[in-house]
Every structure is written in structure tokens, then in C-alpha cells.
Amino acid sequence: MANKKNVLLCVTGGIAVFKAASLTSQLSQRGYNVKVMMTESAMKFVTPLTFQTLSRNPVYNDTFDEKDPSGVAHIDLADWADIVLIAPATANMIGKIANGLADDMISTTLLATTAPVMVAPAMNVHMFEHPSVKANMERLAIYGYRFIEPGEGLLACGYVGKGRLAEPEEIIRAVNQYFIEKSKQPLTGQHILITAGPTREKVDPVRFFTNRSSGKMGYALAEVAQSLGARVTLISGPTALPDPFGVEVVRITSAKEMFHVVMKQYESSDVVIKSAAVADYQPKEVFTQKLKKKDTTLSIEMERTQDILQELGKQKQHQVLVGFAAETNDVEKYAKEKLERKNLDIVVANNVSEQGSGFDGDTNKVVIYGKDGHRIESELVSKKEIAKLVFAEITRYTKGKTEK
């Protein structure tokens, strides 16, 4: 395999652990880098030495057994993995991860990874059919986990039915298939930086200036980019939205914080989409104590924040830069002016005073202008559909650039 992929195999405790040994061996033979993590119960069935020998890598079990002081093992492994495989997955582990528990190394690592996760359950037929287990699996499927269905037949417990761990060959086929599909996705290999939501500019310990952005557009962009194969970093202001699956999320509060985080990630990015509603002004002075009311009027002096997008435009090298323009009038004029002034490649403009395309809604209606003169107008559709249109435009634009 030209580009060796990293498989983090999480082995949880059931009789099917013996099959995970064969799975490790076959994955290694097929050119995957395999690292194995085991639960305490899994180690009661097969020793870590078996997996160490078959994977030619150390086996991990204890979150607190930090052998390398320069790193944090469960985070490093979470980042290392191109795919995480849980095989066999017990009802207990499925229940833990569906509910966000992290009381052992596997469940902790699973919360920390943004890699895709494949789950191969193995358990007694009645356990597999239990409504709690089913509900947990359904929840994980919503979060984007993929399942490799257990087989039917005589189970180790003596029952006949569904619950037998899928055969190693079948699991490997699913892993191979995943990488084949991924390599065909339009945004594979690209690092996409997306900003979303409002910023908060502090006045005093209890007050701040903000705006009505919900972050929904930026989160939809992140979700779509991830599903198209990109590595996505979402830099988000305060929102009520959950982290999109498989996306690295960095939460910030102020425009200044957003500036620093964006700049740090700029060089490694291929595409930057600035959908955040960044404050243009911040209080010149931040009071350390709560401002007390008086009978007179109150003036707060504001100073300009740094225009992040403009700075990105100045420092642009290979990146494709996409800005947003939320306007209430003269949309085309202002959008084109932003495209020029901020050295953008694409600008997504919307009239926020039009019904259905303002802040906080689930729909939007936009006009997308490219630096190459291309213009496309959407209908009033969901923000997810808008996100798809934006990536179609980015793909069209970059293709045009490389063909020149």
C-alpha cells in the first residue's frame, strides 16, 4: 500500500477477542499500520503480548500509564488514527460511547478522536436485540459511526442467533472499502478551515457586545466538508450547537482570539471559509469590575477589531479564500467590493433583510461571486444545501485555476 493507513484497533472484552488477533495479523499483512488498545476484560481472554507480536507495536490499556513524557498517549493515538475500529464491541462499550462516558482508555480515546469509527459488535443474541443496546447503536449511527453487522449462527453462549463478530475478512473488506470511497471524494487530502458563529467583545465581567449569528451556516459547511472527505477545522464563537462529527472544533470567544487561532492554522490550510460574524468593534477599555449604573447617559468608546479576512487576503499564498457578505441593500455592489478589497477568491452574499435568509434560521438564499467572474444564485434552501453549493463552487473554481 503506497500510503500506509493507520488503524487503531480497540479490543473490548468478549470471547470474540480471539478473532481480533487474526484481524490484527491480517490488517498488518495487508499493509495497514495497526496499534491495539485493549480493555481490562479483553485482556482476560487474550494477552496483550499476542497483539503486540502481531501488530509489531506496543499495546495500550491504561490511560494513566504514560510512557512517553513528551505526549499524552490517548490524545496522540486519537490523532494518529486514520480509522478507529472497535472489534469486538461489547454492549458495555457501545453503551459507554453512546453516552459520552470516558472511564477507560478506549472510551476516552473515542471521545478525543475525529477519525471515522467502525464498530463490529459481538454479543449474545438477546443482548444484541435489547432495546437499550439498539437505542445506543442508533444514537452512534446518528453521530456518524459505521457498523459492521454481526453474523448469525451458533454463539459461544450456546444460543443460535445474531451476535457473532463479523469475520476478519469481512471487517477488512469494510475498512478497504472505506478508504477506496474516501480516495474518490472531491475534498480528500484538503485541509479546510471554517469560522462560524458570533464573537463576544467584553465590556466588563458581566457584559459583552455580540450579534445574532447562530453559527448554523458555518457548522453546515463543516459537516458537508467533512462528508466530502476534507480534514476540517472549525473555529467557532459561542454557539448552542454540538460539535459536528469528525471535525476538529476550536472554541473561541473574541475577535482577537479568533484572529490568533486562524492565523496559526492558515499556512496548513488549502481553503479558508470565513462565515463567522466577527465583531468590527470592541470596547477600547475592558473594565475589570462591573460598571455601576448612574443617572447620566453612558458612552462606551469602541475601537476597530482587526479584520481577519483582510489579513488573510494580504498573506494569501496557495489558499482559496472564501468570505461572506451579509447585507441589507446593494448586495451585489458590496459583495464585489469585499471580493476585491479583501483579495478573496469567492464571496457568498446574502440579503439578511429577506425573509428566510437572515440570522439564526435554518434556511438561506445566497448569490456566490467568484473572482473569475462566475456568478450563481441559490433558491431559498436549507443551510446544508447552501453549504453543498459553496463547495461545488470552490471545486469548480480550483479546477479552473489548475487548468489555466
* Catalytic residue set: 157
The interface with ligand CTP within residues 329-348 (CB under 6 A) comprises: 338
Q: Give CA angle at 13 (139, 178), nearest 5°.
A: 50
The amino acid at 192: I
Parallel, antiparallel, or unpaired for β 367-370 and 375-377? antiparallel
Q: Which of 85, 110, 96, 90 is nearest to 44 (CA)?
A: 90
Parallel, antiparallel, or unpaired for β 302-304 and 281-283? antiparallel
Q: CB of 225 within 8 A of CB of 233?
A: no
Q: In b/e form, how buried is each residue of 128-151, taking b as 16+ CB within 10 angstroms?
A: beeeebeebbeebeeeebbbbebe
Parallel, antiparallel, or unpaired for β 83-89 and 117-121? parallel
CB of 41 to ligand CTP, least distance (A): 49
Nearer to ligand CTP, 66 or 337 (CB): 337
Q: CB of 269 within 8 A of CB of 187?
A: no
What pairs with residue 37 in β-bridges?
10, 60
Nearer to ligand CTP, 145 or 324 (CB): 324
Q: Which listed residue (77, 122, 326, 331) binds ligand CTP by CB under 6 A?
A: 326
Binding flag, residue 305, ligand CTP (CB under 6 A): yes
CB of 179 to ligand CTP, least distance (A): 34
Nearer to ligand CTP, 74 or 338 (CB): 338
Site string for ligand CTP, 100-139 (x = CB under 6 A): ----------------------------------------
Strands (E), 128-173: 146-147, 151-154, 160-164
Nearer to ligand CTP, 76 or 327 (CB): 327
12: Cβ contacts below 8 Å, ≥ 6 apart? 38, 39, 41, 42, 86, 88, 89, 90, 92, 93, 106
Nearer to ligand CTP, 17 or 308 (CB): 308
CB of 309 to ligand CTP, least distance (A): 3
Q: Rounded to an integer, what distance in angstroms lies between the CA atom of residue 234 and that of residue 4?
A: 27
Q: Which listed residue (27, 166, 272, 278) binds ligand CTP by CB under 6 A?
A: 278
The interface with ligand CTP within residues 219-258 (CB under 6 A) comprises: 255
Number of alpha carbons in the 13 Å side-chain half-sphere of residue 94? 29
Binding flag, residue 191, ligand CTP (CB under 6 A): no
CB of 281 to ligand CTP, least distance (A): 9
Binding flag, residue 324, ligand CTP (CB under 6 A): yes
Binding flag, residue 8, ligand CTP (CB under 6 A): no
Nearer to ligand CTP, 285 or 330 (CB): 330
Nearer to ligand CTP, 82 or 201 (CB): 201
Binding flag, residue 321, ligand CTP (CB under 6 A): no
CB of 285 to ligand CTP, least distance (A): 19
Nearer to ligand CTP, 23 or 278 (CB): 278
CB of 243 to ligand CTP, least distance (A): 20
Instruction: Please count the other Cβ atoms lying within 10 Å of the Cβ belonging to residue 173.
Output: 13
Q: Which listed residue (40, 62, 280, 285) binds ligand CTP by CB under 6 A?
A: 280
Q: CB of 308 within 8 A of CB of 274?
A: yes
Binding flag, residue 270, ligand CTP (CB under 6 A): no
162: Cβ contacts below 8 Å, ≥ 6 apart? 125, 128, 129, 149, 150, 151, 152
CB of 106 to ligand CTP, least distance (A): 39
Q: Which listed residue (238, 307, 395, 398) binds ligand CTP by CB under 6 A?
A: 307
Instruction: Identify the three-state secondary structure at position 350.
Output: strand
Q: What are the angstrom distances between the C-alpha of 173 and each of 80, 110, 140, 170, 345?
A: 21, 22, 21, 5, 40
Question: With CB under 6 A as the contact rule, which of the stretches 120-128, 206-214, 321-329, 376-384 interacts with ligand CTP?
Answer: 321-329
Instruction: Give the count of residues interacting with ligand CTP (CB under 6 A).
Output: 14
Chain contacts with ligand CTP (rule: CB under 6 A): 255, 274, 276, 278, 280, 305, 307-309, 323-326, 338
